[in-house]
């Protein structure tokens, strides 16, 4: 629905499409669209298409930087060095709050191996531990952003700087969507009033047309801004208006028939009307069984916000939405410069059950096979303490996990050094993570191109490689 409607007009022939696309609105990148549209029309794949292993992606974004050292990456050294400075053998990193020389903070977690894979998961995530064998855990992620905005920005757009399209936008642009009545790319926040670091540009399109941007689904009744007219003018009043508007627009278009955008505008009113009908149903969680609602934790006020979003995400991917991003702890709530115990404890409590339920529910419905689930934040945290009981940002080594569509269940990839400061083994940069996600969804990141003022732009900024160890 957020897509530019001209892309939907189904041309009867390639030639007709070329003609229509060329007939006057030069702003869209014709050749890339040609690749997309001719593929859609003729069944030919776009040049970047590869066999897809997943139809949708749900990206669970733990915003603020969850501590890998207290969740997935146990480091006994920290407890041995507790209170001492980090040994000089570790190369300094620039940290946000300048805590490199602060004393080491031990982890207070109890650690166990889980499942057949024997994955280390701390006692903060008991429900996640139950799905250990579905997960591929990557303990060697790294990124370039020192601060939240750079970090969240890079995890979404590939660049710590501003102005590039988000991953969801690339997916929408490159692969389209199965349901024309819902947005291809939906963004959810557990705290809708909070501001994700960097704001909406994290699901924006940068230099690409705005039609590929993510759409926030906020409320329950009205998921999209202005989806419904104010009550006073709804119903027959609106129908009469739409009918008159349609007649006027068709009369206006008649002598301008080769301007396909005018046709697209007429269709977009039809689409808006259909969406008014379909979107509320898609987000109506009362249609779910009591058992399902309980599984996610809808009945517990602590887990409810995240449970709602996870359940919503499942309903959306069921309906063909291509990319769903859930901000967990929206407004940098994983950020724990102080009181790591309290802050992380609450975040884990609020998200562990819903996240695990999402994977379980997708699996039992047969959706997990074609749905890629990704968990992670913009960076991890330092082994060094901050303000006595917190941890600073650490982008040089942290943990993410993937599950479902085309991902090897139970895999363990990479490792950090003894202190959990640097990723040292099978290092995965953000670009590699993006390349891998795109690969599973059916796009070769190196060939997925959008021409920005003549310059061929790629989602991974011309870098990145697919991590073969993650692939099923």
CA 296 to CA 353: how far, in whole Å?
6
From the CB of 357, what's the least distance to another protein, in Å? Answer: 31
* Selected binder of another protein within 47, 118, 219, 456 (CB under 8 A): 456
> Is residue 394 part of the contact set for another protein (CB under 8 A)?
no
The number of angstroms, rounded, from the C-alpha of 319 to the middle of its chain's C-alpha atoms is 17
**Residue with Cβ nearer another protein (128 or 211):** 211
Q: Is 154 among the residues that bind another protein (CB under 8 A)? A: no
- Scanning the structure block, which residue is given the tokens 């060094």? 384
User: Does 387 engage in binding with another protein (CB under 8 A)?
Assistant: no
C-beta of residue 133 within 8 angstroms of C-beta of residue 410: yes
CB of 330 to another protein, least distance (A): 13
Q: Does an H or E element contain 149, and which? A: helix 148-157
**Parallel, antiparallel, or unpaired: how do β-strands 215-216 and 185-189 relate?**
parallel
Cβ proximity to another protein: between 55 and 378 the closer is 378
DSSP string of 217-251, one letter each residue: --SSS--STT-S--GGG-THHHHHHHHHHHHHHHH
**Contacts with another protein in 206-225 (CB under 8 A)?**
206-211, 215, 224-225
Q: How far is the CB of 259 from another protein (least distance, A)?
A: 5
- The answer to the question of residue 240 lying near another protein (CB under 8 A) is yes
Nearer CB in complex with another protein: 204/397: 204
Q: What is the DSSP string of 284-304?
A: -GGGS-HHHHHHHTTTSTTTH
Residue 302 binds another protein, judged by CB under 8 A: no
Q: Minimum CB separation from another protein for residue 83, in Å? A: 19
Residue from 35, 197, 306, 368 touching another protein (CB under 8 A): that is 197
Q: Does 258 bind another protein (CB under 8 A)?
A: yes
Site string for another protein, 17-56 (x = CB under 8 A): -xx--xxxxxxx----------------------------
Supply the DSSP string of 155-188, one letter for each residue: HHHS-SSS----HHHHHHHHH--S-TTS-SEEEE
Exactly one of 149, 316, 357, 374 binds another protein (CB under 8 A); which one?
149
377: DSSP letter: -
Q: Name the one range near another protein by CB under 8 A: 16-24, 39-47, 127-135, 428-436.
A: 16-24
* Number of separate helices (H) and strands (E) present in the chain: 12, 17
Distance CA 182, CA 277 (A): 11
Among 271, 367, 424, 471, binds another protein (CB under 8 A): 271
Which 84-123 positions form the footprint of another protein (CB under 8 A)?
92, 94-98, 100
Interaction of residue 1 with another protein, rule CB under 8 A = yes
Cα–Cα distance for residue pair 281/179, rounded to 1 Å? 14
Where in 411-450 is the site for another protein (CB under 8 A)? none
Q: Is 172 exposed, middle or buried (0-12, 13-18, 19+ CB in 10 A)?
A: buried
Given candidates 179, 249, 338, 349, which one binds another protein under the rule CB under 8 A? 249
Q: What element of type H or E holds 355?
A: helix 340-364
When binding is defined by CB under 8 A, the residue of 10, 47, 113, 161 that contacts another protein is 161
Quote the CA–CA distance of 72 and 66 in Å, as a whole number.
10
Question: Is position 253 an interface residue for another protein (rule: CB under 8 A)?
Answer: yes
* 285 forms part of the interface with another protein (CB under 8 A): no
User: Exactly one of 43, 51, 83, 255 binds another protein (CB under 8 A); which one?
Assistant: 255
End-to-end CA gap in the chain: 33
Looking at the Cβ atoms of 25 and 111, the one nearer to another protein is: 25
Kindly state the smallest distance separating residue 327's Cβ from another protein, in Å: 14
Residue pair 6/261 in contact (Cβ under 8 Å)? The answer is yes
Least distance from C-beta 182 to another protein, angstroms? 10
230 or 366: whose CB is closer to another protein? 230
Shortest Å, Cβ 287 to another protein:
24
**3-state secondary structure at position 47:** coil
Please state, in angstroms and as integers, the Cα–Cα distance from residue 58 to each residue in 77, 327, 382, 403, 436, following that order. Answer: 34, 11, 27, 10, 14
Q: Are 145 and 430 in contact (CB under 8 A)?
A: no
Range in contact with another protein (rule: CB under 8 A) among 37-45, 245-253, 288-296, 426-434: 245-253
């Amino acid at each position: 629905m957020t897509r530019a409607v001209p892309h939907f007009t189904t041309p009867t022939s390639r030639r007709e499409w070329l003609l229509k696309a060329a007939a006057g609105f030069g702003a869209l990148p014709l050749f890339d669209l040609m690749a997309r549209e001719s593929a859609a029309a003729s069944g030919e794949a776009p040049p970047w298409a590869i066999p897809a292993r997943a139809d949708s992606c749900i990206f669970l974004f733990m915003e603020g930087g969850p501590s890998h050292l207290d969740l997935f990456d146990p480091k006994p050294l920290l407890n041995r060095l507790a209170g001492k400075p980090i040994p000089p053998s570790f190369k300094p990193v620039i940290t946000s709050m300048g805590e490199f020389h602060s004393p080491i903070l031990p982890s207070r977690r109890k650690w166990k191996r889980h499942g057949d894979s024997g994955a280390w998961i701390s006692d903060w995530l008991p429900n996640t531990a139950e799905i250990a064998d579905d997960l591929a855990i990557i303990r060697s992620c790294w990124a370039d952003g020192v601060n939240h905005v750079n970090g969240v920005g890079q995890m979404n757009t590939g660049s710590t700087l501003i102005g590039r399209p988000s991953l969801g936008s690339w997916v929408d642009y490159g692969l389209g969507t199965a349901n024309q009545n819902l947005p291809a790319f939906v963004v959810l926040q557990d705290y809708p009033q909070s501001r994700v670091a960097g704001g909406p540009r994290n699901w924006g399109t940068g230099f690409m047309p705005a039609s590929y941007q993510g759409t926030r689904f906020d409320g329950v009744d009205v998921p999209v801004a202005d989806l419904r007219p104010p009550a006073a003018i709804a119903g027959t009043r609106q129908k009469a208006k739409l009918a008159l508007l349609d007649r006027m627009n068709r009369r206006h278009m008649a002598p301008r028939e080769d301007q396909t955008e005018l046709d697209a505008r007429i269709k977009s009113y039809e689409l808006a009307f259909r969406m008014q009908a379909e979107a509320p149903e898609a987000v109506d969680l009362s249609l779910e069984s009591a058992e399902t609602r309980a599984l996610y934790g809808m009945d517990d006020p602590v887990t409810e916000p995240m449970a709602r979003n996870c359940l919503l995400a499942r309903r959306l991917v069921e309906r063909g939405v291509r990319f769903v991003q859930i901000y967990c702890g929206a407004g940098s709530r994983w950020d724990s410069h102080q009181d790591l115990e309290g802050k992380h404890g609450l975040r884990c409590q609020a998200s562990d059950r819903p996240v695990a339920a999402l994977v379980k529910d997708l699996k039992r419905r047969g959706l997990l096979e074609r749905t890629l689930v990704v968990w992670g934040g913009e960076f991890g945290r330092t082994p060094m303490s901050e303000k006595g009981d917190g941890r600073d940002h650490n982008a040089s080594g942290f943990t993410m996990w993937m599950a479902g569509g085309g991902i090897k269940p139970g895999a363990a990839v990479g490792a950090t050094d003894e202190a959990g400061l640097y990723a040292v083994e099978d290092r995965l940069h953000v670009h590699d993570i993006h390349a891998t996600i795109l690969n599973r969804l059916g796009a070769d990141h190196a060939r997925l191109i959008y021409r920005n003022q003549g310059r061929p732009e790629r989602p991974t900024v011309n870098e990145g490689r697919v991590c073969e160890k993650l692939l099923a």
